[in-house]
Amino acid sequence: MNSIVGDVDQLPLIDHEHQLLASLVPLPGSRIVEAGCGNARLLRQLIQQFGDLECAALEVDRVQLARNLDEPALPGLSFIEAGAAAMPLPDGWADGVLMLKSLHHVPLPEMDAALDEVARVLRPNGWFYVSEPIYDGALNELIRLFNDEGVVRAAAQRALDGAIARGRFVAISEHRFAQAVSYPDFGSFELRMMRPSFADHRLTSDLIESVRQRFMPHCGEQGAHFVRPMHVRLLRRV
């Protein structure tokens, strides 16, 4: 499955991905799992909108998990230290599973097992929403200087195709759009993108300076503004 797009600027801009999700699947009263939840922003938005959800947010990065647990508790939202390949949830527990920019972070040898695990925790006919960055655009060209994800993003799409071929899921729909991404200055970009808590990008002073030089032409008085092209695949558990 090829996620490359011809012209990033022609993609529709979506500011709130939870609204796209809500337009595609029935959400009220649902049990939802997010594997690789990060700060769980989308789950928080869904709970604020619908109020009657039961959400299990899984995260393996202990630094991010601690940050999540330090936030005020939100009814219906539980954080669990776990990865996608071993979810501590009963068979068929979830109505839906989310993976938002996280499937390509699953170690390559575990991707098939992770998708099998998604199928296990989903109820029959449950939905699986996978949102992955497209390997294209000015922001991608900048990030690939220190974190080239071309191989793992392609592997994520092949793993989804393989799970469909194995009869775990059927494909429902695909959607491509762009998200606005802004950084007030290079320091903000370096902290957020080059020094994440979940990865070591083996930064050197020369590499940081090289990235800074490529970043600065994008930066004006109001900061640097990019669009990140995204590819959503909505699947259904068989």
Q: How many residues does the chain have?
A: 238
- 152 domain-assigned: yes
Mean pLDDT of the chain: 95
Q: Coil, helix or strand for 189?
A: helix
pLDDT value of residue 2 = 46
pLDDT tens digits for 103-156?
999 999 999 999 999 999 999 999 999 999 999 999 999 999 999 999 999 999
Percent of the chain whose predicted confidence (pLDDT) is above 70: 97
Query: What gap in Å lies between CA 22 and CA 20, rounded to an integer?
Result: 5
Residue type, 135: Y
Q: Does a structural domain hold residue 100? A: yes
DSSP one-letter code for 191 = I
Which residue, among 47, 24, 13, has the nearest Cα to 171 in the 3D structure? 24
Q: Count the domains in the chain.
A: 1
Q: pLDDT-derived band of residue 184, with 50, 70 and 90 as boundaries? A: very high
The CATH number linked to 82 is 3.40.50.150
Checking DSSP bridges between strand 169-183 and strand 122-133, what pairing results, if any?
A: unpaired
Please indicate, yes or no, if residue 28 is contained in any of the structural domains.
Answer: yes
DSSP string, 32-82: EEEES-TT-HHHHHHHHHHS--EEEEEE--HHHHHHHHHSPP-TTEEEEE-
pLDDT score recorded for residue 8: 79
Strand 223-237 with 169-183, pairing: antiparallel
The answer as to whether 128 is a domain residue is yes
Tell me the C-alpha distance between 84 and 78, whole Å: 16
Q: Is the pLDDT of residue 6 over 70?
A: no
pLDDT at 166 over 60: yes
